[in-house]
Amino acid sequence: MDRRSDYEIYIDSQQAGYVGGGYFNPIEEFYLVSRDLVSKTTKNLLSHHEFDCNQKDVRTFYISNLFKDLQSLLLPNESLFGSYDKGDYKIAVFLRSEERLLDFEHQVIYGNINRIGFFGVDDQYVDKGLMQPFVSSDLS
């Protein structure tokens, strides 16, 4: 797979439209069955990101680099999730694509949500967690 710029990922995400869904519930269970994904590369990307998805001529590769690094940290039987704090509640999002990652990281960069972290979840728990209804809880 060729590496796409942030702008290209953004355009593909806009053309795909709203997909929705893909949240692991309940959030308390998510934290019990997930594994924190951290590497030097991830930490470096998150603290020194160059991110521009608005200009075709400015080619940044923050999202593709981050997605590739996170995928490399997964065990063979795991799926990638991001956890975010929306102020009133926390969510665990199934990050199935670079477009999905961009949707949430874009919100982080613009201060709409806060990133808690990235996690691997064993596939034996993924389907059950994704099929549960959302129940708001306070995990402050």
**Residue-range domain boundaries for the chain:** 6-16+25-131
Provide the whole-model pTM. 0.83
Burial category of 2 from C-beta neighbours within 10 Å (exposed 0-12, middle 13-18, buried 19 and up): exposed
Cα 120 from Cα 133, distance rounded (Å): 21
Q: Above 80 in pLDDT, residue 33?
A: yes
For residue 11, give both structure tokens. Answer: 């355009």
- Per-residue pLDDT of 83-108, as tens digits, reads 999 999 999 999 999 889 988 988 88
* Contact between residue 69 and residue 41 where contact means Cβ atoms under 8 Å apart: yes
* pLDDT of the residue at 124: 95
